[in-house]
Amino acid sequence: MVPAPRLASGTDAARRRPINRAPLPWLAAGLPWVSIMVLSLVPFSPVIASAPVMPPLGLMALLGWRMLRPSFLPVWAGLPLGAWDDLFSGQPFGSGIVLWSVAMLAMEVIDERFLWRGFVQDWLAAIALLSTYLVLAAGIAGLAAGYPLPLTIGPQWLVTIALFPLVNRGVALLDRVRLLPLRKL
Amino acid sequence: MARSRDLRPGYSRRAQYGIFTGYVITVAGLVAGLVALGVSFYNPGAFAWLRGPASEVAAPVGEASAATRRSGAGLIAAINAWFEAGHQNLAMAREIAAARAASASARATADENRRLKALLGIIDPAAPPIATARLIGSTAASARRYAVIDAGTARGVHEGQPVRGAAGLIGRVVEAGRNTARVLLVSDAANVVPVRRASDGLPGFVQGTANGRIAIRLLTMGNNPLHPGDVFTTSGSGGIYPPGIPVAVVSAPRRDGAEGQLAADPAASDYVIVLPVYQAAAVEAMAASVKAGGPPIKDDN
C-alpha cells in the first residue's frame, strides 16, 4: 500500500491537478490559522459542563498542523494563537501564550531529536505535550483560584489522548480542502 | 513516515536571519506571556477589557448554539403538542372554568386579607417599599461584591437605600442610574451592618470578608456567648437599615466574634425589594455634622 503523500507537491500532487489550476492563496494560507482559532471557541459551544471534560481542541489542532506541515506555522505561532485561546478558555490571561509557545519550542526539539517519525511516534509526542499542558494549565488555574485541582483533569486527559488521532485526521482533511485547485490560472 | 525538515538553511544569510528572528519573537512572546500571567494573578480583572469585547464578538456563536438547542427542543415539543392537542384542549377548557371560579373567591379573600392586615398594622403605611426589582448581575471577576438591580432613579431608587430579599438583607444601593442601580452586598468588606441577636438583642456588627462569608463582631467584651445557629437581625442603629431584617446566621464561633453565613444568599434570591432609608432625616443630619466638623483627627496608632 502506498502511504498517503505528506507534501502535496512533486509528482503525486501534479498527477491529480489540471495544469491551469492552483489553490486559492488566501485559503491555503489562512485555513490553518482559522481552524485553530475556531476550535479555541469551544467554551461557546452548547456543551455546558460543571467539570473540565472538553479537551484543549485549539492546542490539539495546532499540534496537528505542526506535525502535518512542519514548516507552515512559524515558531512564534503560539503567541497570537495562545492569546486568542486565553480570551475564551477562562484561564488567567497569559497562560495560553506561555504554554502554547513552549509547546511550539518543544516541537522544534522533538523535530531535532527524532528525525524519522510515524503515526505512533507523533501520537506519543502529542501525548507528552498535551499531558504536560493539561497539568500545567490546571496548576495555573488552581493558583489563580486559590486552591489546587489536580484530580479533576483525569477524564479530560483520557478524552484528549483518545481524540488526538481524530483531530489529526480532521487536520489532514482540512489540508486537502486547503489545497483544492480552485483558482484558474 | 517522512524525515523532519532540516533546520540548517545552508549559506543563505536571509534564511538564517529568518530562523533566528522566529526564535527571538517566540522567546519575547514567552516573556510577554509570563508578564501577563503575573499581572493576571495579582489583578484578575486586569484583562477584562480585552475579554469583554472578545466575548461580545463570540456571543453570537453561543447564542446561535443555544438557540439551536432551544429550537430543537421546541420542534419536538411542537410535534408532541400536535398529537396531544385534542384532549389537551378539553382539559384546558375545564381548567379555565375551574380557575374562573377560584379567582372570584380569591379576590374576595384578598379583599378580606387587606382589611384584616390594615387592622393589624402589619404593613407600615408610613414606609412602603420603594421598588421591587430583579438582581440582574454581579461582579464575578472582581474581589469587590457588587450586584446590579434593574430599577433606578426612574422608579425612585437612590443612593443609600437598603435592599432586602425574601430571606433577609441583601445590601444597600451605592450608585443609581436611570434604570439600573449598583448594590453593595453585605458580603463586601466595605459594608458594615449594625445587628443584634434575634433572641436577646445582643448588639454587634456584621462585616463582609469578600469570600461569600461574613464576620460577626460583638460590641461587648469578655466571654464569647455565640453559638452556631444564632440568628442576627438588623438593629436599626445607624439609621440606614430598618430593624428586624435577618442578616446572618452564626456558623463557627471565633475568639472575638463568629464567622457567619448570609441569611439571604444573593445568588439564590432573584427578586429583591428596595426599602426607604430607615431614619433619612437623622442620617442626613449626621452626614451634615460630620462634614461641618471637618476631617477627623489623625490617630497615632
User: Which of A136, A165, A159 is closest to A61 using CA atoms?
Assistant: A165
Q: Do B66 and A46 touch (CB under 8 A)?
A: yes
What are the chain B neighbours of A112 within 8 Å (beta carbons)?
4, 7
B272 with B149: CB under 8 angstroms?
A: yes
Cell of B10: 545552508
Residue A9 inside a domain? The answer is: no
Number of domains in chain A: 1
**Total CB pairs under 8 A between chain A and B:** 110
Q: How far apart are CA B217 and CA B202, in angstroms?
A: 11
SS (HEC) of chain A: CCCCCCCCCCHHHHHHCCCCEECCHHHHHHHHHHHHHHHCCHHHCCCCCCCCCCCCHHHHHHHHHHHHCCCCCCHHHHHHHHHHHHHHHCCCCCHHHHHHHHHHHHHHHHHHHCCEECHHHHHHHHHHHHHHHHHHHHHHHHHHHCCCCCHHHHHHHHHHHHHHHHHHHHHHHHHHHHCCCCEEC
pTM of the predicted protein model: 0.52
Residue A113 inside a domain? The answer is: yes
Residue listed under C-alpha cell 482533511: A173
Q: Which residues contact A183 (CB under 8 A, 6 or more apart)?
A: A21, A22, A23, A24, A25
Residue A184 inside a domain? The answer is: no
User: Which of B267, B268, B237, B233 is closest to B248 using CA atoms?
Assistant: B233
Residue A4 inside a domain? The answer is: no
CB neighbourhood size of B23 (10 A): 13
Q: How far apart are CA B181 and CA B179, in angstroms?
A: 7
**In angstroms, what CA-CA distances link B98 with B44, B85, B90?**
56, 20, 13
CATH for B130-290 is 2.40.10.340
Residue listed under C-alpha cell 478558555: A89
Q: What's the pLDDT tens digit per position in B85-143?
A: 888 888 888 899 889 888 888 888 887 777 666 555 544 556 678 888 877 766 554 45
CATH code, A45: 1.10.1760
Q: How far apart are CA A170 and CA A179, in angstroms?
A: 14
Instruction: Give me the percent of chain B exceeding a pLDDT of 90.
Output: 6
Interface test with B, best of A1, A95, A97 (most B CBs within 10 A): A97
Cell of B251: 456558623
Closest chain B residue to the Cα of A144, Cα to Cα: B41
Interface test with B, best of A1, A89, A101 (most B CBs within 10 A): A101
Q: Is A140 on the interface with B (CB under 8 A)?
A: yes
Residue A10 inside a domain? The answer is: no
Q: What's the pLDDT tens digit per position in B22-79?
A: 999 999 999 999 999 888 888 777 777 777 677 667 666 656 655 655 555 566 666 7
Give the sign of the dihedral formed by CA B212, CA B218, CA B222, CA B227.
negative
Q: What's the pLDDT tens digit per position in A55-68?
A: 888 999 999 999 99
Q: How far apart are CA B294 and CA A109, in angstroms?
A: 68
Cell of B118: 390594615
Greater confidence, B277 or B128? B277
Q: Which residues contact B149 (CB under 8 A, 6 or more apart)?
A: B133, B134, B135, B136, B157, B163, B173, B180, B181, B183, B272, B274
pLDDT exceeds cutoff 60 at A4: no
pLDDT exceeds cutoff 80 at B195: yes
Q: Is A40 on the interface with B (CB under 8 A)?
A: no
Element (H, E) at B16: helix B13-42
Phi, psi of B257 (to 5 degrees): 150, -135
Q: Which residues contact A111 (CB under 8 A, 6 or more apart)?
A: A70, B4, B5, B7
Q: What's the pLDDT tens digit per position in A84-96?
A: 988 877 678 888 9
User: Which of B185, B105, B204 is closest to B137 using CA atoms?
Assistant: B185
Q: How far apart are CA A33 and CA B179, in angstroms?
A: 43
Q: What's the pLDDT tens digit per position in B169-186?
A: 889 888 787 777 888 888
Closest chain B residue to the Cα of A100, Cα to Cα: B30
Q: Which domain holds residue A73?
A: 18-176
